[in-house]
Structure 1
Amino acid sequence: MHYKGVLRKMQTELGRPIQYYMLFEDNYLNVNQVLNKEITLNFIKFQCLNCGKDLPIFRQGFCKSCFFETPSAGDWIMRPELSTAHLGKEDRDLDYEKKVQLQPHIVYLANSSNIKVGVTRKSQVPTRWIDQGAHEAIEIVEVPNRYLAGITEVALKDHIGDKTNWRKMLTNDVDDEDLVSWRNKLKAYIPAEANEYFIEHNQETHLEFPVLEYPKKVKSLNLTKTPNYKGVLMGIKGQYLMFQDNTVFNVRGSEGYYVSLGIN
């Protein structure tokens, strides 16, 4: 089987285990079905997810020019506390920003390598947790816009981390935590504006990833440095493919790369 197209983050479907799909222009691949098979991955060219041009990818699948122009790469994406659509203030495109920012958002705790706080649109639960490789997660507050979620995250970051150690996550060097207890402890630090949105009675969500064998020590595949790769797929976690030789490949981190993918 051979596939060809531009890489985008894998689509997921909640299950035991989670199902992963790579979508191409004319076809798709259920990645779970090729576990324990040899995969070949060949980099052909760049294809910016916004303009479609063969230009080096700068960040988030965009060439440098598009990254600084497209509304879907505004600073408020990574820093939701900078959201201004609730004030009617435009960053790059107010209609787009209203559409994304003025909808229910969740502040959550997720445990991928350690407990971290994060923000996502309600419609992205549990997709966001899956993308981060979290084996357990819980919602803390549900607020009506991105700004309130952002200022809540900032307040909680003083008391708990907001980063994932991706190497620990991929080697499964993780511990289970009592996220209900953590949620209750952090309630005292929620800003007054978001206090009424605290979620009092909910339980952890547990996630199961399709992994036959975890790598012992990870080495990351960069297609610009190694444009041709072959390896046996042993697992999928977060947005990473994990291979028998301890190589890991971040599909989402390689968005905008046009590749050919073969299954032997």
Structure 2
Amino acid sequence: MQYEGVLRKMQTEIGSPIQYYMLFENDFLNVNQVLDKQLQIDFLKHQCLNCGLDKPIFRQGFCKSCFFEIPATGDWIMRPELSTAHLDKEDRDLAYEKKVQLQPHIVYLANSSNIKVGVTRKSQIPTRWIDQGAHEAIEIVEVPNRYLAGITEVALKDHIGDKTNWRKMLTNNADDEDLVTWRNNLKKYIPEEAAAYFIESNSETNLEFPVLAYPSKVKSLNLDKTPSFTSKLKGIKGQYLIFEDNTVFNVRSNEGYYVALTIK
């Protein structure tokens, strides 16, 4: 069986375990059904997720010119504290920025390789946690816009990390933590502007990933260097495919790559 199309971030559905889907133009694949089967990945060309042209991918699935022009890749995406739509100030496209920035946002703690603080739109819970490979997570603050979430994250980063060790996450080498205690201990560091939005009485969410075997160590598949790859799929965690030879493939970091997937 073969599927062909441009790679995009896998879609997910909460469950025990989480269900993963690759969506193509005229078809989709439930990736869970490929577990313990041989999967061949062949890189055919690039296809920018914005202009659709066969141009080298620069970042986030976009060619270089699109990345520096479209509103979906503004600096405020990675640094929410730079959001300005609440001030009616435009970065690249004010209508788009208002649509994304002026909606409820969550500041959260997630544990994938270690406890980290992060920001996402409320509508992206628990998808954001799944994409990060977090086995447990909890909301700290729910605010009405992206700016308030951003300044809260910046304040909390002085007291807790904001990065995931992807190698540690993929080897499943992370201890369980009491996230309620962590949330309560961090309350005093929340900026005054966001203090009223602190969430007092929630519990952590636990997530189960479809993994038959974790790698003892990891080596990353680079399609530019290895345009054809075949191995048995042993798991899916975060946005990674895990193969039995310890190779891992980050689907999200390969958005914009047009591939053929063959299930053997």
- Normalising to structure 1: TM-score of the pair? 1.00
State yes or no: 1:45 paired with 2:21.
no
What CA distance in whole angstroms lies between the structure 1 residues aligned with 2:224 and 2:148? 39
C-alpha RMSD over aligned residues: 0.3
Partner of 1:36, secondary structure, is coil
The corresponding residue for 1:137 is 137
- Is 1:10 aligned to residue 29 of structure 2? no
**Corresponding position of 1:162:** 162
CA deviations 1:119-173 (Å, max 9, x no partner) are 0000000000000000000000000000000000000000000000000000001
Q: Deviations 1:167-207 (Å, cap 9, x if unpaired)?
A: 00000011000000000000000000000000000000000
For the residues of structure 2 that align with 1:241 and 1:70, how far apart are their CA atoms?
A: 29
The share of aligned pairs that are identical, in percent, is 81
Amino acid in the other structure paired with 1:119: V
What is the letter of the counterpart of residue 88 of structure 1? D
Q: State the 1:42 CA deviation.
A: 0.2
How far off its partner does 1:7 sit? 0.1
Aligned to 1:67: 67
TM-score normalised per structure 2:
1.00
* Unpaired stretches in structure 2, ≥5 consecutive residues: none
Instruction: Report how far residue 247 of structure 1 moved.
Output: 0.2
Indicate the SS of the match to 1:242. strand
Deviation at 1:29, TM superposition (A): 0.3
CA distance in 2 between counterparts of 1:113 and 1:217 reads 14
Aligned to 2:133, the other structure's residue is in SS state: coil
Paired residues in the alignment total: 264
- Structure 2 equivalent of residue 19 of structure 1: 19
Give the deviation of 1:255 after TM superposition: 0.1
- Within a 5 Å distance, the mapping from 1:1-264 to structure 2 comes to 1-264=1-264
Q: CA deviation at 1:116?
A: 0.1
Residue 151 of structure 2 aligns to a residue in which SS? helix
4+ aligned runs moved over 2 Å, structure 1: none
1-side partners of 2:9 and 2:131: how far apart? 9
Amino acid at match of 2:142: E
List alignment gaps of at least 5 residues for structure 1. Answer: none
